[in-house]
C-alpha cells in the first residue's frame, strides 16, 4: 500500500546513501563469461539455440521413443510386439521376473484392500461406540459438577 507521507523521508534517506561503484574487474569477468557461454558447442547450449536440423532430429527421436514405448505396452496379458521374438528369447527370463513381480504386486494389493476393509468394518463401529461412551461420561461429569455445586455450601464453582 502506498503511503504518501513516507515518500519524502524515504527519498531523503536514499539520497544520503553513497553510491557504490562496481569493481573494475566486473565488466571483464562478465564479458569473459558471456564469451565462454557463446563458445560452447551446440549440444551444451539450450535446445532452442541448437541448429534447426538438430532440433528436428531430436523431436523425431523423441517421437520414435514414444512410439516404441506405446507399441510395447502390455495389453490384455499379451504384447503388441513380442519382445521375445525380437531378441531371440533372451528377454523371456526378464519378462518372467516382471510377470512374477506384477503377480506379487496384485496379491499385495488384494491383501491390503482386505486389511483396509477389515479395519473399516471393525474400527468404525468401535469409534462410534467410543464417541458415544465419551459423550455420555462427559454429560455425567457435568451433571455431577452441577449437583456438587448446588449441594456445597461454599459453591465449588466460585474458586
pLDDT values of the chain reduced to their tens digit, one per residue, 159 residues: 677 788 888 888 888 888 888 899 999 999 999 999 889 998 888 888 889 999 999 999 988 888 777 666 555 455 455 555 555 565 666 667 778 788 888 888 888 888 888 888 888 788 888 888 989 999 999 898 888 777 776 665 555
Dihedral angle sign, alpha carbons of residues 73, 74, 79, 82: positive
Three-class SS state of 154: coil
User: What is the pLDDT at residue 22?
Assistant: 87
Q: Are 77 and 86 in contact (CB under 8 A)?
A: no
Provide DSSP, 67-90.
HHHHHTSEETTEESS-HHHHTTTT
User: What is the pLDDT at residue 149?
Assistant: 76
Nearest-5° Cα angle at 122, 117 to 128 = 120
User: What is the pLDDT at residue 156?
Assistant: 55
Q: What is the number of alpha carbons within 13 Å of residue 64 lying toward its C-beta?
A: 6
Q: Are 51 and 42 in contact (CB under 8 A)?
A: yes
**Region for residue 23 given its phi and psi (left: phi exceeds 0; alpha: psi -120 to 50; beta: otherwise):** beta
According to DSSP, the residues that pair with 79 across neighbouring strands are 74
Rounded to whole angstroms, the Cα distance separating 39 from 31 reads 12
User: What is the pLDDT at residue 35?
Assistant: 93
User: What is the pLDDT at residue 73?
Assistant: 59
**Grid cell digits, residue 74:** 502390455
Closest CA to 106 of 77, 149, 129: 77
Distance in Å from the first CA to the final CA of the chain: 50
Amino acid at each position: 500500500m502506498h503511503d504518501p507521507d513516507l515518500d519524502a523521508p524515504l527519498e531523503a534517506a536514499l539520497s544520503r546513501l553513497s553510491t557504490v561503484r562496481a569493481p573494475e574487474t566486473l565488466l571483464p569477468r562478465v564479458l569473459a563469461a558471456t564469451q565462454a557461454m557463446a563458445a560452447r558447442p551446440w549440444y551444451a547450449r539450450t535446445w532452442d539455440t541448437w541448429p534447426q536440423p538438430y532440433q528436428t532430429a531430436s523431436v523425431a527421436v523423441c517421437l520414435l521413443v514414444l512410439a516404441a514405448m506405446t507399441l510395447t505396452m502390455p495389453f490384455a496379458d499379451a504384447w503388441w510386439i513380442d519382445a521375445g521374438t525380437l531378441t531371440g528369447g533372451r528377454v523371456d527370463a526378464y519378462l518372467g521376473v516382471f510377470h512374477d513381480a506384477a503377480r506379487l504386486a496384485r496379491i499385495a494389493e488384494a491383501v491390503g484392500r482386505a486389511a483396509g476393509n477389515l479395519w473399516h468394518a471393525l474400527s468404525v463401529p468401535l469409534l462410534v461406540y467410543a464417541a458415544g461412551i465419551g459423550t455420555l461420561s462427559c454429560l455425567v461429569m457435568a451433571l455431577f459438577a452441577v449437583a456438587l455445586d448446588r449441594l456445597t455450601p461454599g459453591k465449588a464453582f466460585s474458586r
